Chains A and B, each alone.
Chain A
Amino acid sequence: MASLLQVSGLCKAFGDVRAVNDVSFEVRAGEIYGLLGPNGAGKTTAISMISGLLRPDAGKVTVDGADFWSAPARAQKIMGVVPQEVALYDELSGRENLEFWGRLAGLPAVGVRDRAGEVLEALSLADRARDAVKHYSGGMKRRINIGCALMHRPKLLLLDEPTVGIDPQARANILEFVRKLGAEGTAILYTTHYLEEAETLCGRIGIIDHGQLLAEGTLPELQKRLGGDQLFVLEGDLQQAKPDDWPEFHERFRIIQKLDRQLVVSAHNSRHPSECLRDLLELPVRVENVTLKRPSLNDVFLQLTGRELRE
C-alpha cells in the first residue's frame, strides 16, 4: 500500500517545553493509524504540524510523496482535518456548514449540494439537515464536524480525538463510520487517549508520551514487546517484597507493574504458562491469588512509561 503520510523527525518546542520530540511514523492508504497517548502527550501538536497549523522546528511532513511546506495547497487538497473541538458555525444548519466547508475545499457550486446530501446520508443526519447546529446533540455535532472534513473526498484524513465528550452510542456510530472510511481506502491518522478505540479501530498504533513516540506497531506486535501473549497477576502482601533479591527471577520474568498488593509480570522466552505458574508460586512471598490475562495496550503503556494511561 502506498504511503500517503510520512512524518520524520518532527520536533516542536514551546519555550522550554518540548511538545513533540523526534516523532516519525507513516500512514498508508486504507490504513487507520492510531496515535495513542494521554492528554498533553503531544498528539494535537503533532497533528497541528501535519495539517499546517504549526510550523515544525525540525523534521519533515510528506503528503502523498511531496513535502508539505513546499506545496501546502497541494497537500491541503488531499487532506481532510477534523479538529478536536467542534469547529462549526452554530447558527448555520448542518447542511449549510457542510456546503460552506465543501465550497472552501474547492468543490464547485453545482456539486456541493449533492455531496452534502451524500455526507448527510452517510452520517445518518439527513433528517436533521436543516436544523441549526446549535440544536444538535454532542454526538451529532461531532458527526457533522467529521463530515465537513470529508466533503472534498480527502485521500488522507486526520482525526484529532473525534469522540471526546460524547456518549457510548454516539462514539460507536463514529467509530463504525471511520472504520468504513478506512475500508474504502482512506488513509486515516486517528489520535485518541481511549485504549479501547485504539485497540478495536486501528491497524497500527503509535504510543506517544511527553512528545516522544515510545513504540509503534500492530496490537499483537505491541503485545509481544511484553514477552508473549500472557501476563501473570500476583495478589498478596507484597509491600516488603524485593524481587531483586529473588534468585533467577529477572532471568525468567519481566516486571510490568509492582504495587503493595499486586505484581504484574510477563514471562521471558515463551515458556509454558504452567511452568511459569509453578515458578511464581515458589517465590519467597505469600501469594493469595494468581491470574493469567492477555496483555492490553494499557499494559504496554505501563511497561513503556511506568504508569497507566488512565492515570
Chain B
Amino acid sequence: MLWTLLIKDLNRARHNPWPYLINLALPLCITALIGLVFGPSTRGGGLGTIKFAVVDDDDSVLSSLLRGAMNQGEFKKHLEARFLERESALKQINDNKISALLIIPKGFTRDYLAGDQSVALELIKNPAQSVYPAILEELLQVAVAGLNAVARNLHADLPEWKEIIEKEGRPDMKRMADLLTRVGNRFEQAEHYLFPPLLGYETTTQKKAKEEGPALNIFAFLLPGMAAMFLLFLADHAIRDLYREVKARTLDRFRTLHDRLLPFVISKVMLAMAVVVLGSLVMFGGGVLIFGIHWERPLGMAAVILAYGLFAAGGMASIAALARNERRANAVNSVLVMCLSFVGGSFFPARQLPPVFRDHLSPLMPNYWFIESLRALQSGSGEMTWVWAALKLLVLGLALILAASWIFQRALAKGLRA
C-alpha cells in the first residue's frame, strides 16, 4: 500500500512539478549569483587571465620599465598585456577580445619626473564586460597611488633622475648609484611607516587535491549551505500535502477504505524523503554540470544526504502536525527553516557568526551537521565527521517521524481540518 501511495504522490508531482522545480532551481541560482559575485570564475576555482592592451605613446625608459614589469612574475600569471597600436587595440575591445585598454600618454615620463604638473594614465574599459575591467581599474588605481607616493617622497631627486634618463648615450652609472643609495636611505628611515607589521596570509594547494582533481572551489563551499535550506523547503512542501489531502477529502476517502492512518502518514514521509533525495541529485548533480564541482566522496555524501532527508521529512512533519492546519504549518515551517538556515550556516559560514551562535548554537543544528560534514568530505578533512553526522541525523529523523505520525493520528481522530 505504501508503494501505491508513494507512486500516486510522485505521479501528482510529475503532473504539477512547479512548486518542486522552483525549490530546486533557487539554490542553484543563488549559488551561481553568490559565486559569480564573490567567487573567481565559474569553473576550476582559479582567477582567469585578464587580457588587456597597452598603447605606449610615451615610449620612454619609464614606460619601457612598466611594460617589462607587466610580463613578469605574479603579474604575468593573472594579466595578459598586449602591446598594440591604438587602432588595433580599440578594434580588439570592439571585438570583445580584451577587457580594457591602458594608454600611456606621450610625455608621461617627462611630466612625471618634472613633478610640476599632474600626469594621467588613460584606461578605456570594455563595456561588454563587468568584472574584469573593474579589476583592472582597481589595479590601475593602486599603481597610480604608488606612483604618487614615489613622486611625493622623492620629489627632490626627480629632476636628477630626469637628467640621467634624458641624457644621450649610456646613463651615468655612478650618479645613478648615488641616487639609489639616497632612495635606499630614505626608505630605511620610513620603514616603520611603509612596512608596518600587517597580518599576512599565504595560499597553498594540497598536493592530493592536485593529483585527484580540481581544488575546492567556491561553489562547492556554498552549495551545501543553500542545499540544506532548500531541501528543508522541499520536504516541507511535500509534507504539507497531507493537509491538501485533508482539504480535498481524499484522506477521508482513504479512511473509508482503511481504518489505520499510519500508512498514509508514512507515505507522506516517504514522499518527502524521495523529494529530498531527488532534489539533492538535481542540486549536487547540477553543481557538477553547471559549476564544474568535483565531489570528492560521493558515497559519503549520499549517506549524509539520505540521513538529512530523513531528518528533513521528520522535522517538517512534526511541525506540520503540531500546527494543525496548512496555513499555520506553512508560516511556522517557513520561519523555522529560515532561522535554522541562519544559525546552521546556510547564509554565512557558521564560523563567521557571532561567538554565541558559532560556539554554542550552530553546532546543535542538524543542518549544521549536514553542511559541515559535506564540506569536510569535500576538503578531505575529518574522516569520521560525516559518519557521526549521518548517524545523528538518522536517529533524530526517525524519532521525529514517529512523533509526527502519532501527533497526526491524534489530530485526525479529533477531526483535523485543513
Query: What residues of chain A have their CB less than 8 Å away from a CB belonging to chain B?
Result: 51-53, 72-73, 76, 79, 81, 83, 85-92, 96, 100-101, 103-105, 132, 148
Instruction: Give 1 or 0 for each of B244-266: 1 = CB within 8 Å of chain A CB.
Output: 00001110111111110000000
Q: Which of A53, A90, A92, A96 contacts B252 (CB 8 A)?
A: A53
**Is there contact, CB below 8 Å, between A132 and B15?**
yes
Q: A53-B255, A53-B256, A81-B256 are in contact. Are A88 and B16 (CB under 8 A)?
A: no
Q: A87-B248, A88-B250, A91-B15 are in contact. Are A79 and B259 (CB under 8 A)?
A: no
Known A73-B259, A83-B256, A87-B249; further 10 A-B contacts with Cβ < 8 A: A72-B259, A73-B258, A76-B258, A81-B253, A85-B248, A86-B249, A96-B11, A100-B8, A101-B253, A104-B4
Q: A100-B4, A132-B15 are in contact. Are A87 and B250 (CB under 8 A)?
A: yes
Q: Closest chain B residue to A80 by CB distance?
A: B256
**Is there contact, CB below 8 Å, between A52 and B256?**
yes
Instruction: Give 1 or 0 for each of B187-211: 1 = CB within 8 Å of chain A CB.
Output: 0000000000000000000000000
Across the interface, which residues of B come within 8 angstroms of A92, CB to CB? 8, 11-12, 15
- Interface residue tally on B, bucketed by range: 10 to 19
Please measure, in the bound complex, the distance between the C-alpha atom of A86 and the C-alpha atom of B1, giving whole angstroms: 22
Please measure, in the bound complex, the distance between the C-alpha atom of A30 and the C-alpha atom of B8, giving whole angstroms: 34
B252 to chain A, nearest CB (A): 6
Please measure, in the bound complex, the distance between the C-alpha atom of A173 and the C-alpha atom of B235, giving whole angstroms: 43
B17 to chain A, nearest CB (A): 10
8 A-B interface contacts by CB (under 8 A): A76-B257, A83-B253, A87-B252, A89-B8, A92-B12, A96-B8, A103-B1, A103-B4
Q: Closest chain A residue to B250 by CB distance?
A: A87
Q: Is the interface of B mostly helix, strand, loop or mixed?
A: helix
Please measure, in the bound complex, the distance between the C-alpha atom of A72 and the C-alpha atom of B257, giving whole angstroms: 9
Across the interface, which residues of B come within 8 angstroms of A76, CB to CB? 256-259
Please measure, in the bound complex, the distance between the C-alpha atom of A148 and the C-alpha atom of B252, giving whole angstroms: 13
**Is there contact, CB below 8 Å, between B256 and A104?**
no
A1 to chain B, nearest CB (A): 24
Across the interface, which residues of A come within 8 angstroms of B258, CB to CB? 73, 76, 104
Please measure, in the bound complex, the distance between the C-alpha atom of A132 and the C-alpha atom of B418, giving whole angstroms: 24
Q: Which of A52, A90, A148 contacts B255 (CB 8 A)?
A: A52
Q: Closest chain B residue to A81 by CB distance?
A: B256
Instruction: Give 1 or 0 for each of B1-28: 1 = CB within 8 Å of chain A CB.
Output: 1001100100110011000000000000
Please measure, in the bound complex, the distance between the C-alpha atom of A53 and the C-alpha atom of B253, giving whole angstroms: 9
Please measure, in the bound complex, the distance between the C-alpha atom of A52 and the C-alpha atom of B255, giving whole angstroms: 8
**Is there contact, CB below 8 Å, between B249 and A85?**
yes
Across the interface, which residues of A come within 8 angstroms of B254, CB to CB? 104
**Is there contact, CB below 8 Å, between A51 and B8?**
no
**Is there contact, CB below 8 Å, between B256 and A89?**
no
**Is there contact, CB below 8 Å, between A89 and B12?**
yes
Interface-central residue, B15, B16, B249, B257, by most chain A CB under 10 Å = B257
Please measure, in the bound complex, the distance between the C-alpha atom of A90 and the C-alpha atom of B244, giving whole angstroms: 11
Please measure, in the bound complex, the distance between the C-alpha atom of A207 and the C-alpha atom of B131, giving whole angstroms: 80
Please measure, in the bound complex, the distance between the C-alpha atom of A86 and the C-alpha atom of B12, giving whole angstroms: 17
Please measure, in the bound complex, the distance between the C-alpha atom of A37 and the C-alpha atom of B365, giving whole angstroms: 57
**Is there contact, CB below 8 Å, between A104 and B1?**
yes
Please measure, in the bound complex, the distance between the C-alpha atom of A51 and the C-alpha atom of B249, giving whole angstroms: 14
6 closest cross-chain pairs (CB), A and B: A91-B15, A87-B249, A81-B256, A87-B253, A72-B259, A85-B249
Please measure, in the bound complex, the distance between the C-alpha atom of A76 and the C-alpha atom of B256, giving whole angstroms: 6
Q: Closest chain B residue to A55 by CB distance?
A: B413
Interface-central residue, B5, B11, B16, B259, by most chain A CB under 10 Å = B259
Please measure, in the bound complex, the distance between the C-alpha atom of A132 and the C-alpha atom of B16, giving whole angstroms: 11
Across the interface, which residues of B come within 8 angstroms of A51, CB to CB? 256
A176 to chain B, nearest CB (A): 24
Please measure, in the bound complex, the distance between the C-alpha atom of A96 and the C-alpha atom of B4, giving whole angstroms: 11
Please measure, in the bound complex, the distance between the C-alpha atom of A100 and the C-alpha atom of B264, giving whole angstroms: 14
Across the interface, which residues of A come within 8 angstroms of B252, CB to CB? 53, 83, 87
Across the interface, which residues of A come within 8 angstroms of B255, CB to CB? 52-53
Q: Which of B1, B4, B248, B259 contacts A89 (CB 8 A)?
A: B248
B250 to chain A, nearest CB (A): 5
Across the interface, which residues of A come within 8 angstroms of B257, CB to CB? 76, 101, 104-105
Across the interface, which residues of B come within 8 angstroms of A100, CB to CB? 4, 8
Across the interface, which residues of A come within 8 angstroms of B256, CB to CB? 51-53, 76, 79, 81, 83
Please measure, in the bound complex, the distance between the C-alpha atom of A73 and the C-alpha atom of B12, giving whole angstroms: 27
B56 to chain A, nearest CB (A): 68
Please measure, in the bound complex, the distance between the C-alpha atom of A100 and the C-alpha atom of B252, giving whole angstroms: 15
Please measure, in the bound complex, the distance between the C-alpha atom of A15 and the C-alpha atom of B259, giving whole angstroms: 25
Across the interface, which residues of A come within 8 angstroms of B4, CB to CB? 100, 103-104
Across the interface, which residues of A come within 8 angstroms of B15, CB to CB? 91-92, 132
Please measure, in the bound complex, the distance between the C-alpha atom of A81 and the C-alpha atom of B258, giving whole angstroms: 12
**Is there contact, CB below 8 Å, between B249 and A83?**
yes
A101 to chain B, nearest CB (A): 7
B53 to chain A, nearest CB (A): 58
Please measure, in the bound complex, the distance between the C-alpha atom of A89 and the C-alpha atom of B241, giving whole angstroms: 12
Q: Closest chain A residue to B8 by CB distance?
A: A100
Please measure, in the bound complex, the distance between the C-alpha atom of A73 and the C-alpha atom of B250, giving whole angstroms: 18
Please measure, in the bound complex, the distance between the C-alpha atom of A81 and the C-alpha atom of B259, giving whole angstroms: 14
Across the interface, which residues of B come within 8 angstroms of A73, CB to CB? 258-259
Across the interface, which residues of A come within 8 angstroms of B249, CB to CB? 83, 85-87
Q: A83-B249, A83-B253 are in contact. Are A91 and B259 (CB under 8 A)?
A: no
Please measure, in the bound complex, the distance between the C-alpha atom of A19 and the C-alpha atom of B4, giving whole angstroms: 36
Please measure, in the bound complex, the distance between the C-alpha atom of A89 and the C-alpha atom of B15, giving whole angstroms: 11
B227 to chain A, nearest CB (A): 27
Q: Closest chain B residue to A109 by CB distance?
A: B4
B342 to chain A, nearest CB (A): 34
B16 to chain A, nearest CB (A): 5
Across the interface, which residues of A come within 8 angstroms of B253, CB to CB? 81, 83, 87, 101, 148
Q: Closest chain A residue to B1 by CB distance?
A: A104
B42 to chain A, nearest CB (A): 37
Across the interface, which residues of B come within 8 angstroms of A83, CB to CB? 249, 252-253, 256
